[in-house]
């Protein structure tokens, strides 16, 4: 018991946190740009173990067109039924991060992405950059909406690209 408490407190210092993670997606085709941005994703990263977790409110995505935002929430993501999207995973072969010196690390991540109530295993390359005690994590990967049971009706299907690109940018600070 004592030992596990010790492990816990020791672990807390390794955790980096953000409340303003930026998640963008590009789902449009040449016919229409369907881009959403969410600047309120929360995320934690354990720099010792490489574990990481992301969560965001689907309703917080903003769009250039108000109607697109309504359709996104009402028809596609059903954000009242599935209010959150999340990712839980880890950096495989986590390098030793030296937080005191600036530098960057190319890493590979894997984990479970949950969108629209459906969980799928994904892998994605990412880059961690240490700068002034903060860690910036950037990653970009592609998903197929049908894998997450997001139904695009035939009449608008040609406005969507086959794959949706997701770009993640998080600036982590030590969790106090």
Partner 1 sequence: MNPALNKPHMQTKLTGITICLLFCCSPIFVSAQVKDTSDLMDMLDMETAKHPVTNYTSATFKTTRLINAHSIENVAGGVLDVKISHRFGALNGGFYELFGLDNASIRIGADYGITNWLMIGLGRSSYEKQYDGFMKVKLLRQSTGKRNVPLSISGFAGMYYNTLKWSEPDRENFYTSRINYAFQLLLARKFSEAFSLQLSPTLVHKNLVPLTTDPNDLLSIGIGARQKITKRMSINVEYYYQLPGFKLENTVDPLSIGIDIETGGHVFQFIFTNSTGIAENQYINGTTGKWSQGDIHFGFNIARVFTLKKTTRKEIK
162 vs 144: CA distance, rounded Å:
7
Strand 84-92 to 15-28 pairing: unpaired
Q: Closest separation between CB of residue 101 and partner 1, Å? A: 25
Q: Is the Cβ–Cβ distance between 147 and 126 less than 8 Å? A: no
Q: Which residues touch 138 (CB under 8 Å, ≥6 apart)?
A: 126, 127, 129, 167, 168, 169, 170
Q: Closest separation between CB of residue 159 and partner 1, Å? A: 8
Q: Closest separation between CB of residue 63 and partner 1, Å? A: 7
Q: Closest separation between CB of residue 24 and partner 1, Å? A: 10
Of 55 and 140, nearer to partner 1 (C-beta) is 55
Q: Is the Cβ–Cβ distance between 77 and 150 less than 8 Å? A: yes
Of 74 and 103, nearer to partner 1 (C-beta) is 74
Of 78 and 165, nearer to partner 1 (C-beta) is 78
Nearest Cα residue to 104 out of 78, 138, 81: 138
Where on the chain is the footprint of partner 1 (CB under 8 A)?
1, 4-5, 7-8, 11, 15, 17, 19-20, 22, 37, 39-40, 42-44, 46, 51-55, 57, 59-60, 62-67, 70-71, 73-75, 78, 80-81, 83, 86, 88, 153, 155-156
Q: Closest separation between CB of residue 84 and partner 1, Å? A: 9
Of 64 and 103, nearer to partner 1 (C-beta) is 64
Of 50 and 164, nearer to partner 1 (C-beta) is 50
Nearest Cα residue to 107 out of 169, 50, 164, 165: 50
The SS3 of residue 11 is helix
């Amino acid at each position: 018991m004592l030992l596990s408490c010790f492990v816990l407190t020791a672990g807390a210092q390794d955790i980096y946190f953000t409340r303003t993670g930026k998640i963008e997606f590009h789902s449009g085709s040449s016919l229409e740009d369907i881009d959403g941005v969410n600047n309120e994703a929360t995320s934690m990263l354990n720099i010792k173990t490489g574990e990481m977790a992301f969560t965001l409110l689907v309703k917080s995505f903003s769009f250039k067109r108000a109607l697109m935002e309504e359709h996104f929430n009402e028809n596609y993501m059903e954000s009242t039924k599935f209010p959150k999207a999340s990712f839980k995973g880890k950096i495989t072969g986590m390098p030793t991060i030296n937080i005191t010196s600036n530098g960057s690390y190319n890493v590979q991540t894997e984990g479970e992405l949950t969108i629209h109530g459906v969980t799928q295993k994904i892998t994605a390359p990412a880059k961690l950059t240490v700068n002034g005690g903060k860690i910036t994590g950037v990653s970009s990967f592609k998903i197929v909406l049908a894998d997450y049971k997001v139904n695009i009706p035939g009449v608008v299907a040609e406005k969507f690209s086959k794959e949706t690109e997701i770009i993640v940018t998080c600036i982590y600070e030590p969790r106090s």
